[in-house]
């Protein structure tokens, strides 16, 4: 049973009591969560279903240590412990997602309806993915394969009141004598959202459509699966204007984002080990329409070939180890009449080896090394972009230990070194970035980022109370960021670098005096600053989430797994901001009141449907997240929002 197969239990608040049952990718392949020294959390299916969000990143941004950079309701970028963009690797369908993630207003091209569970690794300890995994890794797991001899499916639908989201997803899968298949189609519409401060926010509507499929074969020797997917997002570009489209189709300016993917995933059993061989192709098309609905300005065409071959073995005289090679070939072209970055070619290759060892009944040691090389060739384009080639070698590593102080208490310690090569936008941008309302200039002399991070964590669980504490300290050499270098319309921003340090942590506490009542809370804090200089940009404010949840008795004839919950989401004032040339401003504190309820509907002993009701920002508070890119143009986040979600299995 791995993370995606950990079926939602009736009590999702007891997940930390089941660490021995949860298997994650960890540092050496699949290992039990209580054996991993690096901070890893898993969002289970029951938790995802009970959350209201406008995209999949919004659904996971409630986890301690995780936040999101938003551009309205359609676009969210993940942030882990104050680091985002190309410092996070997102894994979907087994390969790293490549979709122009360097852009501020470039979201993650993933259909949230097809995500079953999420695995979050915080920090650079993962050696499976190399460059760009400096902040951590998000792994999106699909719905598990149907059981042998079964055909199953589901219809899910959702409505949100604030921006009128109409969302539905149809899924069917089967397993006939080891021949497995899966198919899904999803569609989502949203008009402009509103709040107390701005009223309607023009051009904040969007449309999202996705389709995916899988064909595979399960045999005693392993399995082979062919996956393919299509994703299309049409978001409006919000410019802070008082007039504009508020209906279901955004007006000018807007984007058209297409993402195509094909993955061949194979696993072969070799004695006590497994050989995994994966190859994937993905294409990302990103178009911006500024003056006419049928005439794009910017048009980026990105093709990526991913490869990943690794061998994993367990129980080799108490050892677990993994070794492999992976990387990608990438080609980016400009197809529009406007330019921001040049055409380029990229070759990325890496090799890694990791291992873990159980020492007696109390200690688990694990660690590993990885070597990477990235070759980047920028192609000339008119007189704006020059031809140049850069080579970025890097070494990363991790070593850690888990000490079982008792059956109820675990201590985790980890030290890791991360590496990230500059992306092409940071090296060679030269143009107006319409989605960010600024002119961006790259710096081809930038050096790779290197991080050194220490983690220490403590887990405790008992019959009535449980908790987790995770602290970290991170130093990053050659930290790359944008700084304003000239005023104008738009202003000019240039990429620069300097050394930085970040520290902070997360805490979780759950008190359940009786089985049906849970009182819980999570706290997250990040402090980021240039060494000897200013605060770092885009650092989330301290956040405290508290919740009281009542679960009704299970085994009811009609309603099962029923619950009601009330939540307070408090975000502190953020006074630690990047204030150079008014790039950022402080953000006031705010508190949001949320409520939720849900139940399974059981008829004749079978679950026929699941129903969820949610109310976010119940008091209609006017609030601005410090990581909202619309804050500086006076746009507030979404006001009161009611959600109804229905899931019907068949």
* Model confidence band, residue 427 (pLDDT cutoffs 50, 70, 90): very high
Kindly tell me if the per-residue pLDDT of 16 is higher than 90: no
Torsional class of 100: left (φ above 0), alpha (ψ -120 to 50), beta (otherwise):
left
Task: Answer yes or no: are the C-beta atoms of 614 and 645 closer than 8 Å.
Answer: yes
Q: Which pLDDT belongs to residue 20?
A: 54
Name the token pair of 129: 């993915």
What are 222's two structure tokens? 């392993």
Asked whether residue 541 carries a pLDDT value surpassing 50, the answer given is: yes
435 pLDDT above the threshold of 70: no
Whether 251 and 82 have beta carbons less than 8 Å apart is answered as no
Q: Where does residue 612 fall: left (phi above 0), alpha (psi -120 to 50 degrees), or beta otherwise?
A: beta
Is the predicted pLDDT of residue 424 greater than 50, yes or no?
Answer: yes
| CB-side neighbour CA atoms (13 Å) of 449 | 31
Cα(117)–Cα(141) distance, integer angstroms: 5
As a whole number of angstroms, the distance between CA 326 and CA 521 comes to 39
In the prediction, which pLDDT does 8 show? 39
**Annotated domain spans of the chain:** 3-143+155-649
Q: What is the mean pLDDT of residues 334-354?
A: 94
The SS3 assignment for 202 reads coil
Do residues 502 and 536 lie in contact, with contact meaning Cβ atoms separated by under 8 Å? Answer: yes
pLDDT at 317 over 90: no
Among 451-460, 556-565, 600-609, which range has the highest average pLDDT?
A: 451-460
The pLDDT of 5-32, averaged and rounded, is 52
* Residues present in the chain in total: 650
pLDDT at 5 > cutoff 50:
no
Q: Which residue has the higher pLDDT, 588 or 320?
A: 588
pLDDT at 198: 95
Give me the mean pLDDT over the 417-443 stretch.
88
pLDDT tier at 27 (50, 70, 90 boundaries)?
low
Mean pLDDT of 17-38: 68
- 240-290 pLDDT per residue, tens: 887 888 999 899 999 999 999 999 999 999 988 899 999 999 999 999 998
Element (H, E) at 46: helix 45-49
CATH fold label, 3-143+155-649:
Maltoporin; Chain A (2.40.170)
State mean pLDDT over 112-121.
94
Quote the mean pLDDT of the chain: 91
Going by pLDDT thresholds of 50, 70 and 90, the confidence category of residue 21 is low
How remote is the C-alpha of 491 from its chain's centroid? 30
Distances (CA, A) of 43 to 50, 87, 614: 11, 21, 18
* pLDDT per residue as tens digits for the range 49-64: 999 999 999 999 999 9
Q: How many CB atoms lie within 10 A of CB 583?
A: 18
Residue 461 · residue 18 · CB < 8 Å: no
Model confidence, pTM:
0.93
What is the predicted pLDDT for the residue at 173?
A: 97
pLDDT at res. 230: 98
Residue 594: both structure tokens together: 């949320």
Helix (H) or strand (E) segment spanning residue 59: helix 56-60
């Amino acid at each position: 049973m791995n993370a995606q197969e950990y079926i939602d239990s009736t009590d999702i608040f007891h997940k930390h009591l089941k660490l021995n049952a949860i298997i994650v990718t960890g540092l050496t392949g699949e290992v039990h969560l209580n054996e991993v020294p690096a901070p890893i959390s898993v969002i289970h299916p029951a938790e995802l279903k009970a959350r209201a969000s406008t995209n999949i990143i919004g659904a996971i941004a409630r986890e301690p240590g995780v936040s999101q950079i938003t551009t309205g309701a359609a676009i969210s970028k993940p942030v882990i412990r104050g680091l985002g963009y190309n410092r996070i690797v997102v894994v979907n369908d087994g390969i790293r997602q490549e979709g122009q993630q360097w852009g501020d207003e470039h979201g993650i091209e993933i259909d949230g309806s097809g995500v079953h569970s999420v695995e979050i690794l915080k920090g650079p300890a993962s050696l499976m993915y190399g460059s760009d995994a400096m902040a951590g890794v998000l792994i999106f797991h699909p719905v598990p394969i149907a059981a042998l001899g079964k055909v199953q499916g589901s219809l899910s639908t959702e409505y949100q009141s604030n921006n009128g989201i109409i969302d539905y997803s149809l899924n069917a899968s089967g397993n006939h004598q080891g021949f497995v298949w899966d198919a899904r189609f999803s569609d989502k519409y949203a008009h402009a959202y509103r709040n107390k401060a701005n009223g309607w926010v023009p051009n904040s509507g969007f449309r999202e459509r996705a389709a995916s499929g899988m064909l595979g074969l399960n045999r005693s020797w392993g399995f082979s699966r062919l996956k393919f997917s299509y994703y299309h997002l049409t978001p409006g570009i919000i410019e802070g204007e008082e007039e504009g489209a508020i209906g279901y189709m955004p007006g000018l300016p807007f984007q058209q984002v297409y993402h195509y993917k094909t993955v061949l995933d194979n696993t072969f059993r070799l004695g006590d080990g497994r050989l995994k061989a994966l190859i994937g192709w993905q294409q990302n098309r990103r178009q911006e329409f500024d003056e006419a609905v049928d005439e794009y300005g910017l048009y980026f065409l990105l093709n990526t070939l991913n490869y990943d071959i690794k061998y994993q073995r367990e129980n080799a005289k108490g050892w677990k180890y993994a070794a492999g090679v992976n990387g990608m070939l990438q080609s980016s072209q400009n197809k529009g009449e406007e330019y921001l970055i040049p055409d380029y070619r990229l070759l990325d290759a890496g090799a890694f080896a990791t291992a873990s060892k159980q020492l007696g009944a109390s200690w688990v040691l694990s660690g590993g090394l990885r070597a990477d090389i990235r070759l980047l060739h920028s192609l000339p384009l008119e007189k704006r972009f020059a031809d140049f080639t850069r080579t970025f070698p890097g070494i990363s590593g991790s070593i850690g230990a888990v000490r079982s102080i008792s059956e109820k208490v675990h201590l985790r310690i980890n030290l890791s070194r991360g590496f990230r090569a500059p992306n092409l936008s940071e090296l060679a941008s030269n143009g107006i970035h319409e989605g960010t309302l600024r002119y961006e200039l790259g710096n081809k002399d930038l050096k790779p980022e290197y991080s050194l991070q220490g983690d220490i964590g403590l887990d405790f669980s008992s019959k009535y109370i449980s908790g987790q504490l995770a602290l970290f300290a991170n130093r990053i050499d050659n930290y790359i960021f944008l700084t304003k270098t000239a005023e104008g319309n738009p202003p000019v921003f240039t990429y620069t670098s300097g050394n930085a340090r970040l520290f902070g942590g997360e805490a979780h506490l759950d008190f359940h005096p009786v089985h049906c009542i849970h009182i819980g809370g999570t706290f997250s804090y990040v402090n980021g600053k240039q060494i000897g200089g200013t605060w770092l940009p885009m650092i989330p404010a301290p956040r405290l989430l508290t919740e009281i949840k009542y679960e009704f008795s299970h085994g009811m004839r009609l309603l099962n797994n029923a619950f009601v919950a009330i939540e307070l989401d408090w975000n502190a004032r953020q006074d630690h901001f990047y204030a150079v040339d008014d790039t950022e401003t402080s953000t006031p504190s705010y508190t949001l009141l949320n409520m939720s309820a849900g139940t399974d509907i059981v008829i004749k002993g079978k679950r026929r449907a699941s129903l969820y009701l949610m109310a976010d920002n119940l008091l209609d508070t006017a609030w601005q997240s410090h990581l909202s890119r619309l804050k500086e143009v006076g746009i507030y986040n979404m006001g009161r929002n009611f959600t109804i979600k229905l899931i019907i299995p068949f």
